[in-house]
C-alpha cells in the first residue's frame, strides 16, 4: 500500500487529517517544489501550487521538475504530482489584495519578492508558514524555525521584520530560515539548503495540521 508507512507513523486518525488538509504553496522553485514533494508523499491530497515562471537551465541545480527546461513549472508539476491543482499566475501586490486565502488551511510562502511576502503575511498570518534565507548557503544544519520576530542572521527576514514594524504590524507567524552567513554576493544556491528548507516547511505544515 502506497501510504502504509505514513499510516503507521501518524496513526489512522491523524493520517486522515493530513489527507483532508487544504494547502496552498506560493512559489514552486528550489524551496516550494520540495515542500510539495514532501506533502504529496505524506498523503496530503488537496494541494494547490501557484507560480508564473518557466524552467530555465539555471534552475536545474535545485528545482524538482527543472529538467523540463522551457516548460511552465505549474504544468510540469501537475504531471509529476497527479491530482494537485495549479494556478499559473504572477504574484504581485494586486494579486495578494484580490486573492481569497480563506479556503486554505495553510499557506506556505516560498515566494521571492519581499513586498509580496510582507503583504501575504499581513493578510493571512494565522495560517502562514514563510520560507526565507535559503540562497547563498550550503550548511543545512543552520536551518531554524522561529517566529518572524525571533529570526536572526538572515537579511531578508530582517528586512521583513523592519517593514512590518514600520507598518505597525505586530502579529506572529512562523518562519523557516538559515542563520548561516551568506557565502557569495550573487544568487548562488545549493539544493542541500533550498531543498532542506522546503522539507522543513513541510514538516512544520504537518505539525500544524496534526496539532492546530
- Cα separation of 165 and 176, whole Å? 19
| pLDDT of 159 | 96
pLDDT at residue 209 is higher than 90:
yes
203 in Cβ contact with 195 (< 8 Å): no
pLDDT in tens, 181-191: 999 988 899 99
| pLDDT of 173 | 98
pLDDT at residue 133 is higher than 90:
no
Q: Which three cell numbers stand for residue 70?
A: 522551457
52 in Cβ contact with 89 (< 8 Å): yes
pLDDT in tens, 67-124: 999 999 999 999 999 999 999 999 999 999 999 999 999 999 999 999 999 999 999 9
> Which helix (H) or strand (E) covers residue 47, if one does?
strand 46-51
In three-state secondary structure terms, 64 is: coil
Mean pLDDT of the chain: 97
| pLDDT of 212 | 85
Share of the chain above pLDDT 70, in %: 100
Buried b (16+ CB within 10 A) or exposed e, 105-127: bbbbbbbbeeebbbbbbeebbeb
pLDDT in tens, 50-63: 999 999 999 999 99
pTM: 0.97
| Average pLDDT estimate for 155-159 | 95
- Cα separation of 101 and 127, whole Å? 9
Ordered by where they begin, the domains of the chain are 4-210 (3.40.50.720)
Amino acid at each position: 500500500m502506497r501510504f502504509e508507512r505514513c499510516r503507521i507513523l501518524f496513526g489512522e486518525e491523524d493520517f486522515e487529517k493530513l489527507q483532508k488538509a487544504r494547502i496552498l504553496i506560493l512559489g514552486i522553485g528550489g524551496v516550494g517544489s520540495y515542500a510539495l514533494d514532501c506533502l504529496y508523499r505524506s498523503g496530503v491530497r488537496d494541494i494547490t501550487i501557484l507560480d508564473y515562471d518557466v524552467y530555465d537551465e539555471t534552475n536545474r541545480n535545485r528545482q524538482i521538475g527543472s529538467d523540463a527546461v522551457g516548460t511552465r513549472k505549474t504544468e510540469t508539476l501537475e504531471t509529476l504530482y497527479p491530482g494537485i491543482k495549479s494556478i499559473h499566475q504572477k504574484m504581485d501586490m494586486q494579486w495578494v489584495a484580490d486573492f481569497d486565502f480563506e479556503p486554505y488551511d495553510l499557506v506556505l510562502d516560498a515566494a521571492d519578492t519581499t513586498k509580496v511576502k510582507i503583504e501575504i503575511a499581513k493578510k493571512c498570518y494565522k495560517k502562514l508558514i514563510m520560507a526565507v534565507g535559503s540562497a547563498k548557503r550550503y550548511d543545512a544544519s543552520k536551518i531554524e524555525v522561529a517566529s518572524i520576530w525571533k529570526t536572526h542572521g538572515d537579511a531578508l527576514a530582517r528586512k521583513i521584520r523592519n517593514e512590518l514594524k514600520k507598518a505597525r504590524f505586530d502579529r506572529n507567524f512562523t518562519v523557516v530560515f538559515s542563520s548561516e552567513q551568506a557565502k557569495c554576493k550573487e544568487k548562488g544556491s545549493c539544493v542541500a539548503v533550498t531543498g532542506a528548507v522546503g522539507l522543513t516547511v513541510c514538516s512544520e505544515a504537518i505539525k500544524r495540521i496534526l496539532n492546530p
